Structure 1
Amino acid sequence: MSRFFKETIKITLLSLLIFIVIVFLLNLPVIFNQIPRNQKIVMAEDRGDKIIFIDIKSSPILYIPRINVRAPIIFSDNDKDIMKDLERGVSHYPQTALPGKVGNVFISGHSSDYPWRGGSYKEIFINLNNLEVGDLFYIDYESVRYEYKVKGKKIVSPVDMSIMEQRNSYEATLMTCYPPNTNLKRLAVKAELKAEVISK
């Protein structure tokens, strides 16, 4: 075997090893977030046929029990601010309905982001696709807890604005890039308002 051939094999194997390590590191957030961590979010007390909610914070918060999400809602002033706001939580899109109001409350969050970017919410919606029809999520806003029930989900192109459409109904949409570690598509989870509870 010639020296040139041996060197070529070494370089090829080294390149392959480096590639595998890079792919593993880039997918580490996805792998890590798929591992159950026995987290539990206690949000309510069940008392017969009523749910009495407790400890509603004054700051806007999104709770999704099924996927163990609890994140501050940042009300973005304009489209330019959204990416920066996603470093501090999930973003409520400007010109969409406020919680409890007629229309579509549109909230986005990262499923993944570049490792070198700041913020603690880079993968807050990484498991959003695990939500199923009938699952509940909650928005705490101005001392009221709004309960939304998932009615469906779909994958759309990044330029499909139909998921932000404002209708004469009480609904909410949670949106993230899909699949994780790409921005090829958008996953939209659609929900309808089921109940609201005023904090004491």
Structure 2
Amino acid sequence: MSVRLIVRSLSELCITVGALIILFVLYVLFWTGVKAAGATEGEIDTLRNRWAQGEVSVPAPGPGPEASPAPDLVPTAPDYRDGKPFAMMYIPRLGRSWEWPVLENTEVKTLQKGLGHYAGTARLGATGNFAVAGHRRTYGDPFKDFPRLREGDAVVLTDGTTWFTYRIAGKPYRTVPGDTAVIDPVPRRSGFDGPGRYLTLTTCEPEWGSSHRLIAWAHLDATQPVTDGRPAAFHS
């Protein structure tokens, strides 16, 4: 084999590899976002149609703006349906247009359509830890700006009947994927020292990797019926 043939073959191989890398980057940066946008809109439409027809989960009562926490009621509605949306989440700190559906479970296919509720953690607004995961990058980049979260930031959710406003307890905490204690009923290292109505948000760290996790904890601050309009947290 001549040197010229070897050089040409290596050149063609480099071009092929380079093209594959470019296609992969385009898929990650562009196509997953396109897929996520369509899937997310579909889940949001499903939720709104369900709510319009009166199909909602029974809300767990919580503290109103001037109220103290009330005891949990025994839910009479079915459990959250696996892989299906049941709530919407809004985080004003991350942008006025930031809104994502919350679906039941954290499987790969679920997180491609929105945020995922850790099965087995508390229901929305209930005593315990309502824990939610989301992609940092790809599939719409829901938690791209996760490190911007600060103490006092609002995380607002609705199940179609009630607004739940949680308040972030501190800056995001960095840990490893195996640290499951961060979604315990009283999450480890959260600063919470007893039972309460908590929210845990989790995402990947670093931004384009998954060797670690970023965690944000919050506590339930207020609730109000959706018929009263959007909570003040949207305007603060």
- The Cα of 1:130 is off from its aligned counterpart by 0.9
Name the counterpart of 2:108.
83
Going from structure 1 to structure 2, the CA distance change for 1:199 and 1:112 (only over 3 Å counts) comes to same
**CA distance 1:23–1:84, shift in 2 (3 Å):** closer
How many angstroms does 1:122 deviate by?
Answer: 3.7
One of 166, 171, 180 as aligned partner of 1:148:
166
Partner of 1:157: 176
Go from structure 1 to structure 2 and tell me whether the alpha carbon gap of 1:74 and 1:20 turns closer, same or farther (over 3 Å shift). closer
Letter aligned with residue 213 of structure 2: R
User: What is the alpha-carbon distance in structure 2 between the residues aligned to residue 75 and residue 179 of structure 1?
Assistant: 25
Task: State the AA in 2 paired with 1:75.
Answer: E
**Correspondences of 1:17-166 after superposition (within 5 Å):** 60-68=87-95, 69-76=98-105, 82-113=107-138, 121-150=139-168, 151-166=170-185
Q: How far is 1:20 from its partner? A: 9.8
**Alpha-carbon distance in 1 for matches of 2:226, 2:157:** 13
Aligned mates of 2:140, 2:184 — CA distance in 1: 26
Shift in Å at residue 88 of structure 1?
1.4
Compared with structure 1, are the counterparts of its residues 154 and 196 closer, same or farther at alpha carbon in structure 2 (3 Å cutoff)?
Answer: same
CA contact (8 A) 1:61 1:141 kept: yes
Instruction: Quote the RMSD (CA, aligned, Å).
Output: 3.1
| The structure with more helix, counted as a fraction of residues | 2
Q: Distance in 2 between matches of 1:75 and 1:87?
A: 13
What corresponds to 2:217 in structure 1?
A: 190
Residues 27, 181 of structure 1: 8 Å contact kept:
no
The total of aligned residue pairs comes to: 162
User: Offset of 1:87 from its aligned partner?
Assistant: 1.4
Runs of 4+ in 1 over 3 A off after TM superposition: 17-29
Distance 1:74 1:155 in 2: 24
Q: Which amino acid aligns with 2:214?
A: L
CA contact (8 A) 1:75 1:93 kept: yes
1-side partners of 2:89 and 2:197: how far apart? 17
Q: 1:33 matched to which residue of 2? A: none
Q: Shift in Å at residue 25 of structure 1?
A: 5.5
Unaligned stretches of 5+ residues in structure 2: 31-64, 66-84, 187-194, 228-236
Q: What does residue 204 of structure 2 align with?
A: 177
Q: Give SS of 1:60's match.
A: strand
Tell me: CA distance 1:21–1:83, structure 2 relative to 1, closer, same or farther (3 Å).
closer
Identical positions, percent: 25
Q: Report the TM-score, using the length of structure 2 for normalisation.
A: 0.57
Normalised TM-score (structure 1): 0.66
Distance (whole Å) between structure 2 residues aligned to residue 100 and residue 192 of structure 1? 10
Q: Which has the higher strand share?
A: 1
Question: For 2:108, what is the secondary structure of its paired residue?
Answer: helix
